[in-house]
């Protein structure tokens, strides 16, 4: 399968990428690792007129700890986050989740920022951002702003980036608390049919769901039940509340709602809740 024709330009800096985005508007798409965008282009589900390749901006590939936050450059590959000593020590759940994405080849190539900016409700990293209380740093023509992860995922494949903005960094509070991550897939490299992440933070227990609606989401009812003293198995029974899973060949709505309860229960147990 071959994508439709497009113009290709390699940006040598974030500023150049922003300039190109401002110039070409909706006709242009940023290309990082390409592991979300290229499959869509090969199926002709996306046909951008121009690709702006930012995949070689090495200054956006880093994992560092700063003022109590683990900061991950948007062009960090999943493999590099999974193996980062900083991430493993100060946000081990984030490193673990990165190491469960796709397969080794995908993790060598796919980027943190590309995966998150894609806004796929079935992807894994947004759940970690939500459960940990993370944020996203974006740069546009008017400078840099920080967006709370709760405000970033707007609707199905839609995020809070304006057409001229570039996601440059992802931040999560330092978090060494126990956690559990559960993902149901038919083949190891597939997207989650349903996924659940629970992590103990200084603000209580964060619980997030994968592929249970049009956007990555908190399991708010579970978090609330735990905060008011429910035990893990009782709290997990609330996992499907407020979700809007869709049905497909992998499972019905009812199946997904059931699986969410089971996986949240397991994730809470692993997290020692």
**221, 264 contact by CB (below 8 A):** no
**58 scored as a contact of other proteins (CB under 8 A):** no
Select the span of 62-70, 102-110, 166-174, 225-233 touching other proteins (CB under 8 A). 102-110
Shortest CB 8 distance to other proteins, Å: 4
State which residue, 10 or 258, has the beta carbon closest to other proteins.
10
**105 scored as a contact of other proteins (CB under 8 A):** yes
**198, 178 contact by CB (below 8 A):** no
**16 scored as a contact of other proteins (CB under 8 A):** no
Largest CA distance in the chain: 57
* Token duo for residue 76: 């960090």
State which residue, 5 or 202, has the beta carbon closest to other proteins.
5
Residues 166-225 that bind other proteins (CB under 8 A): 187-189
Select the span of 104-112, 149-157, 195-203, 265-273 touching other proteins (CB under 8 A). 104-112
State which residue, 106 or 147, has the beta carbon closest to other proteins.
106
Task: Name beta bridge partners: 196.
Answer: 182, 209
Q: Measured on CA atoms in the order 175, 104, 121, 51, is the torsion positive or negative? A: positive
**44 scored as a contact of other proteins (CB under 8 A):** no
CB-based burial label for 223 (10 Å; 0-12, 13-18, 19+): buried
Here's the x/- map for other proteins, 130-169, by CB under 8 A: it reads as: ----------------------------------------
Least Cα distance to 122 among 72, 181, 190 occurs for 190
State which residue, 97 or 239, has the beta carbon closest to other proteins.
97
* Token duo for residue 207: 């619980």
State which residue, 7 or 248, has the beta carbon closest to other proteins.
7
Task: Name beta bridge partners: 271.
Answer: none
From the list 55, 73, 213, 216, which residue makes contact with other proteins (rule: CB under 8 A)? 55
Tokens 């960090």 sit on residue: 76
Spatial separation of the C-alpha atoms in residues 262 and 239, rounded to whole Å: 9
Tokens 């006709």 sit on residue: 27
> Which whole-number Å values give the CA distances from 30 to 18, 48, 138, in the listed order?
10, 10, 13
**113 scored as a contact of other proteins (CB under 8 A):** no
From the list 24, 29, 35, 261, which residue makes contact with other proteins (rule: CB under 8 A)? 35
Which residues form the interface with other proteins (CB under 8 A)? 1-8, 10, 31, 34-35, 38-39, 42, 51, 53, 55-56, 79, 102-106, 108-109, 187-189
């Amino acid at each position: 399968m071959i994508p439709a024709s497009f113009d290709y330009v390699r940006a040598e800096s974030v500023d150049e990428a922003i300039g190109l985005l401002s110039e070409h508007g909706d006709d242009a798409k940023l290309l990082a690792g390409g592991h979300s965008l290229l499959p869509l282009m090969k199926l002709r589900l996306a046909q951008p007129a121009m690709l702006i390749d930012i995949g070689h901006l090495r200054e956006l590939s880093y994992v560092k700890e700063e003022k109590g936050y683990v900061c991950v450059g948007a062009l960090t590959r999943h493999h590099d986050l999974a193996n980062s000593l900083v991430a493993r020590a100060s946000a081990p759940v984030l490193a673990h989740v990165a190491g469960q994405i796709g397969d080794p080849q995908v993790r060598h190539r796919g980027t943190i920022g590309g995966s998150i900016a894609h806004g796929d409700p079935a992807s894994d990293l947004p759940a970690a951002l939500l459960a940990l209380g993370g944020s996203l740093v974006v740069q546009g023509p008017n400078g840099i702003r920080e967006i709370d992860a709760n405000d970033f995922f707007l609707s199905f494949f839609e995020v809070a980036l304006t057409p001229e903005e570039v996601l440059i960094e992802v931040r999560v509070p330092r978090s060494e608390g126990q956690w559990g991550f559960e993902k149901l897939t038919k083949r190891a490299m597939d997207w989650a049919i349903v996924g659940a992440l629970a992590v103990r933070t200084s603000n209580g227990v964060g619980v997030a769901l994968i592929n249970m609606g049009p956007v990555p989401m908190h399991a708010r009812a579970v978090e609330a039940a735990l905060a008011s003293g429910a035990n893990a198995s009782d709290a997990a029974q609330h996992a499907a509340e407020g979700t809007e899973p869709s049905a497909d060949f992998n499972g019905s709505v009812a199946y997904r709602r059931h699986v969410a309860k089971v996986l949240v229960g397991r994730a809470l147990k692993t997290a020692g809740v």
